Amino acid sequence: MITESDILKAKVLIVDDQESNVILLEQILHGAGYTCVASTMDSRAVVELHNSNHYDLILLDLQMPDMDGFQVMEGLKVIETGGYLPVLVITAQPGHKLRALQAGAKDFVSKPFDVLEVTTRIHNMLEVRLLYQKVGNYSRKLEQMVEKRTAELHESEARFRALREMAGFCAQNRQRRASRT
């Protein structure tokens, strides 16, 4: 089960080339109780930052100089091999929403920001992300248990074969002794 505390401790990265948007989003998140919020105005740094910090959610502006949000998402796909790209797109362009979702974003927030909408979407996305991670961890534990039990079964079968061979060998020796007498 994911608790409210788990959600509020999740790692969030804000990526926007406009300082006013970064400050506003930081204030919204801190005001909502989020404790692990980072930001960058350099879209070229996002992939490396995510690779180092494994963010649970990236709030990503689409229109930025140097590298736009679509290019950033392409770079994130390379390192986010689990199949769940934790990106919430920020856009003022309605036409970019569908393209962003097709590019791998999980949701979007429109500019200008509606604080309730932003906090609700962030909360929901973090809950899904943390549940996704929990399911993945549970699956890995189950796989490890299956591998362990399979190895134990192979060992048990090997011991059984060895005992059966010894029993057959003993039975042959008894028959030989009995035939000599």
Residues 159-176 have pLDDT tens digits of: 878 777 777 777 777 777
Domain boundaries, the chain: 4-136
The set of residues, in sequence order, having a beta carbon less than 8 Å from that of 109 and lying 6+ positions away, is 59, 88, 89, 90, 91, 117, 118, 121
Superfamily designation of domain 4-136: Response regulator (3.40.50.2300)
| 3-state class (DSSP) for residue 55 | coil
Residues 29-60 have pLDDT tens digits of: 999 999 999 999 999 999 999 999 999 999 99
Q: Model's pTM, two decimal places?
A: 0.76
**Cα–Cα distance between 142 and 177 in angstroms, integer?**
52
pLDDT-wise least confident of 28-42, 54-68, 95-109: 95-109
**Cα–Cα distance between 66 and 88 in angstroms, integer?**
20
